[in-house]
Structure 1
Amino acid sequence: MIIDKLSNLSRYKSIDKNFAKAVEYIEKTDLSKLGYGKFEISGSDIFLLKMEVDTYDYESSQYEVHNVYADLHISQDSDEVHFFERGELMERTKMEYDKNGDVALYELDSTRNKLQPLVGEFIFFWPGEAHAPKTTDKIRKMDKIIIKINTEKR
């Protein structure tokens, strides 16, 4: 997991070749001008999702774990909280792993690692790292940008 300012994103290009491609896309794209939708950066290996989502409150929030894709969350709302935990500590399954969606869901049993990025910051989660995004004090609508990065094809 990495949390930092977007202006420092290029420092991390060497961690993965697909991550580097995602960074290059971000550097040349005005993300604020994108409408909602799915934008392919490198086919199905790297794509951006910009959407309006319903947030979770602290009672309904849940962990998600991916096996193939890393998540690069670009903060659009400074009220959004992410919880982070080691994937192997997930015990109470809400949804078994879905290969098509590349996600398993777990109960929010641990809130010891709370992250609250500001607008202009990002959080990067590797596959296998449990994270609970979209958490706010009360359920509401929120804009969300996530870049999905296939880390199996390095």
Structure 2
Amino acid sequence: MIIDKLAEADKYYSLHKNYQVAFEYLKAQDLLNMEVGKYEVADGVLAIVSDKPGVTTDVAYGKFECHNKNIDIQLCIRGNETIAWKPRADCVDPRGEYSDEKDVLFYNDAPDMSFQLKGGQFAIFYPEDVHAPMIGDDLIKKLVVKVRIA
């Protein structure tokens, strides 16, 4: 997992062949005015914008998730978003089977920690990062970029 500001994203370009494409896309957008929806950025790079109320920890923990095929770059555009996290290697209680179609596996485990993102900050979640986003009391506008691993 990586946590940083969008203004510092160029430091991470060398970590994946599509990080430069993803972050330059983010930097080129009028994020505050971007419409909710899905955007094909490039082959293997999909952006998803949401703008909705934050959820309670109980609701978020019900979707404590990780992915096998994609890396998530989760950028907070507006609001204060709390995200819970735990290493996948330490999770022992999967809820159901991995969905290849949706690229998601849920866990019943409790997170080890949580942190907060505010506007202009992002977190990168790799397949080994189980996460529960969107925890908050107010509206949260965010953009998740799905970067295909291979």
What's the TM-score, normalizing by structure 2? 0.88
Pair 1:52-2:51 in alignment? yes
Query: 2:114, 2:130 → 1: CA distance?
Result: 12
Q: 1:36–1:78: structure 2 CA closer, same or farther, 3 Å change rule? A: closer
Bigger drift between 119-128 and 72-81 goes to 72-81
Which 5+ residue runs of structure 2 have no aligned equivalent? none
Contact 2:80 2:140 in 1 (8 A): no
- Is 1:85 equivalent to 2:94 in the alignment? no
Contact 1:81–1:116 (CA under 8 A) maintained in structure 2 = yes
Total equivalences in the alignment: 148
- Give, in angstroms, the shift of residue 92 of structure 1: 2.1
Structure-2 separation of matches of 1:94 and 1:85: 15
Match status 1:124 vs 2:124: yes
SS of alignment partner, residue 17 of structure 1: coil
Match of 1:145 among 135, 143, 146: 143
Structure-2 separation of matches of 1:54 and 1:104: 24
Query: Counterparts in 2 of 1:92-111, with a 5 A limit?
Result: 92-110=93-111
| 1:13 match: secondary structure | helix
**1:29 equivalent in structure 2:** 29
Paired amino acid for 1:98: S
What is the CA-CA distance between 1:96 and the residue it aligns to?
Answer: 1.9
Q: Deviations along 1:22-67, whole A, 9 cap, x unmatched?
A: 0121222222232111111113x10100123453312222211100
State the distance in 2 between where 1:26 and 1:59 align.
30
Instruction: State percent identity of aligned pairs.
Output: 26
Offset from partner CA, 1:87-110 (integer Å, 9 cap, x none)? 122222223210011001112513
Flag the 1:95–1:142 CA change in 2: closer, same or farther, 3 A. Answer: farther
Match of residue 17 from structure 1: 17
Query: Contact 2:6–2:27 at 8 Å: present in 1 too?
Result: no
Q: Counterpart of 1:72?
A: 73
Cα distance between partner residues in 1 of 2:25 and 2:58: 36
Distance 1:8 1:46 in 2: 20
Greater share of residues in strand: 2
For residues 23 and 9 of structure 1, the distance between their equivalents in structure 2, rounded to whole angstroms, comes to 7
Distance 2:52 2:94 in 1: 23
